[in-house]
Structure 1
Amino acid sequence: MRILLFLATNIAIVAVASITLSLLGVGSYMTAQGLDYTNLMIFCLVFGMVGSFVSLFLSKWMAKRSMGVRIIDQPSNADEQWLVGTVAKLAEKAGIGMPEVGVFASPQANAFATGWNRNDSLVAVSTGLLNKMTREEVEAVLGHEIGHVANGDMVTLTLIQGVVNAFVMFFARIIGSFIDRAVFKNENGHGIGFYIATFFAEVILGILASTIVFWFSRRREYRADIAGAELVSPAAMVSALARLRAEYGQPSDMPDEMVAFGISGELKNALGGLFMSHPPLEKRIAALQARYGR
C-alpha cells in the first residue's frame, strides 16, 4: 500500500508539473550553449512547489490509508463520544473548523494532525495513547495537535519544503553542468557527466538543506506545546510530555512520511540533533516549565 501511495503521488506530481510548465510556455532548460537559467529556475520552482503541495493536498487521504486510520463519523461508545466532543471544543476555542477525528492501531502513544488548511484537517490518536494516558493528558495532546492546525504549520512546512526542493534542484544542475564541462570536457555540459554529477549533488545538497526543514519542524513543536498548554492547561501538557518520555528512545512505528506530524518523533542523534524532527522531550518540558513557572 505504501509503495502504491508513493507511486500515485509521484505520478500526480509529474502530471501536474508538466501541465503547469506547458501552460507557462516553459521550454527545455538545456540549450546548445549551455543552461538557460531562467527556464531552469522556473522548472525547479514548479517541480519543487508542485511536489510539496500535491503531497499536502493528498496528506489526509494518504495518512488515512498508510496509518489505517478509522474515522469516527458516528461515535459508537462513550469514549469515542468524549474524543469527538473534546476535539470539537478545542477546535472552537482555537477558532478553526471541526477536524475529522480518527483512531489508528499502535501500541505507542502518539497522535498527529494533517490537512491542507485550518478548516479541512484531520486529527488522529493512537490506541496506545488512549490506553496509556489520562483523559486530561489526552486532551492536552489533542490541544497540541489542534495548535498545529491553528498555527498553519502544515502549509508553512510545505512552503519551506517547496522552496528548499527548488533551490536544491537548481544548484545541483548548475554543479552538474560545471563538472561535465570541466571534468568530462563536454562543451555544452549535457553529457553523462551532467546526470551523474547532478544526482550526487542533489543527494548532498538535499541532506544539507533538510536541516532547514528539520529546524522549522522543531520550532513548530514548541509552539504547538504552548497551544496545548493554553487550550487545556500547562500542567496537563507537561504531564502528557512526561508520559511520552517513558517511551523515549524507541523508534516510532509511524511511516517515515508521517513521523514529523506526530507529537513524538523518532529519536535521531546525528550531528547534535540537526536531523531531528522533534526536540528532545526534556527540552520541551523545560521550555513549558520556564514559560509558566512550574
Structure 2
Amino acid sequence: MNQFKTLALLALLSGLLVGMGYLLIGGTNGILIGLALAAVSNLGSWYFSDKIALRAYQAQPVSRQQAPALYASVEKLSQAAEIPMPDVYIIPTEAANAFATGRNPNNAAVAVTQGLMNMLTQEELEGVLGHELSHIINRDTLTQAVAATIGGAVSSLAYMAQWASYSRGGQGDRRGGNPLGLLLAVFLAPLAATLIQMGISRTREFAADAGAGQLTQNPRALMSALRKLEKSAQVAPMGGNPSFEPMLIINAFSREGLSNLFSTHPSTEERIERLEAQAQGLLQSTPILNR
C-alpha cells in the first residue's frame, strides 16, 4: 500500500510539472516542455542525487580503520539485510542526524554526523543505521531525490513565470496567458509540490522505522535514538539546503505549532508509538524459552 501511495504521489508531482508547462506556455508545446522537464529531472536525480546530497553536507568518506565501530555496524546490518555494503560517510557537524542516498542498493551510501555518533549508544546507532538501510532496500533514496528534483523544477518555473509577468507588466504588454492560470502556476503549484513531497516523505519514514525494527529486532533502540534526536534538533539544528531535509532521519529544525503542518517527517511521538507496538509484537512472537 505504501509503495502504491508513493507512486501515485510521484505521478501527481510529475503531472503538476506538465500542467505548469501547459499553463505557462500553452497548448501542445507547453505539455511537451513539461514532459521534457520531468524526464530530465528524473534522469538527473537518478544519476547524480547521491553525489549532490553528500557534497551539500560536506560528507567525508571513512574506512574501517578510521571509524571501526560505525563501519562494523553498517557491515553487520548490510549482511543481515542481504544487500551490498554501502559506502560510509561522516558529516563534520555537532548536529545529530543521518541520511542514506543512492539510486539502488548497489550504488548507495550512508552518512551520519559526528554529533550523532557522539550522542548515541551503539544499540541506538544501529537503530538509526537500520532505518537508513531500510530506505536503501525500499529504494526510498531514489524516490526522495526524484521528488525533490521535480519539486525544485516546479518552484523554478513558478519563479521564472513570476519575473516574466513583472517584465511584461512593466512594458505595458497586456498580452499573455490566462491570469488565473498564471496565478495557479506561480503561487499554488509550488505549495502543492511541497505538500506532495511531504506526503511522500512521511509515508516512507514510517516504513523505514518498521524496517529498522525488523532488521535489528530491537525497535526500542530506535525509539530511544529518536527521543535524543528530537531534543538535539531543538538545541543544535542541522544547517544545509532545506530541499534535502526529507532525506534526514529527523527534521533538521524543531517544528512547533502550525509549522508541524509543513513538516517533512511524521511527529516523533507517532513514530515512537508505532515502534512500541512493533516491539510488543516481536515480544509476543518470541517463544517463552527464548525470553
TM-score range, shorter chain: 0.7 to 0.9
1:42 aligns with 2:32: yes
More helix by share: 2
Q: Is 2:84–2:105's contact at 8 Å kept on the other side of the alignment?
A: yes
TM-score, structure 1 as length reference: 0.72
2: CA distance between counterparts of 1:83 and 1:121?
16
**CA distance in 2: counterparts of 1:292 and 1:86, whole angstroms:** 21
Provide the secondary structure at the position in 1 that maps to 2:250. coil
Counterpart position of 2:254: 267
Note if 1:205 corresponds to 2:192.
no
Instruction: Please name the residue that 2:64 is paired with.
Output: 75
The AA in structure 1 aligned to 2:234 is G
Counterpart for residue 8 of structure 2:
none
Residues 96, 238 of structure 2: 8 Å contact kept: no
Instruction: Indicate yes or no: 2:251 matched with 1:249.
Output: no
Unaligned runs of 5+ in 1: 1-28
Q: CA deviation at 1:282?
A: 1.4
Deviation of residue 118 (structure 1)? Answer: 2.0
- What letter corresponds to residue 215 of structure 1 in structure 2? G
Q: CA deviation at 1:284?
A: 0.9
1:221 is aligned to 205
Partner of 1:19: none
CA-to-partner distance for each residue in 1:86-127, whole Å, 9 max, x for gaps? 212212222322211011111121111011122101101111
Q: Residues 161 and 65 of structure 1: is their aligned pair in 2 closer, same or farther, counting only changes over 3 Å?
A: closer
Label 1:263 to 1:97 Cα distance change in 2 as closer, same or farther (>3 A): same
Instruction: Tell me by how many angstroms 1:221 deviates.
Output: 0.9
Q: 1:163 to 1:107 in 2, by over 3 A?
A: closer
Question: What is the CA–CA distance in structure 1 between the aligned matches of 2:145 and 2:120, rounded to whole Å?
Answer: 31
| Greater RCO structure (CA 8 Å; 6+ sep) | 2
SS at match of 1:274: helix
1:1-294, aligned counterparts within 5 Å?
Answer: 37-72=27-62, 74-77=63-66, 80-160=67-147, 186=175, 189=176, 198=182, 201-232=185-216, 233-250=218-235, 251-265=237-251, 266-269=253-256, 271=258, 273-293=260-280
**Contact 1:49-1:159 within 8 A present in 2 as well:** no
Uncovered stretches (5+) of structure 2, i.e. residues with no partner: 1-20, 282-291
Q: Distance in 1 between matches of 2:154 and 2:64?
A: 46
| TM-score normalized by the length of structure 2 | 0.72
In structure 2, what is the Cα distance between the partners aligned to 1:164 and 1:134?
A: 36
RMSD: 3.4
Count of residue correspondences:
248
> How far did residue 142 of structure 1 move?
0.5
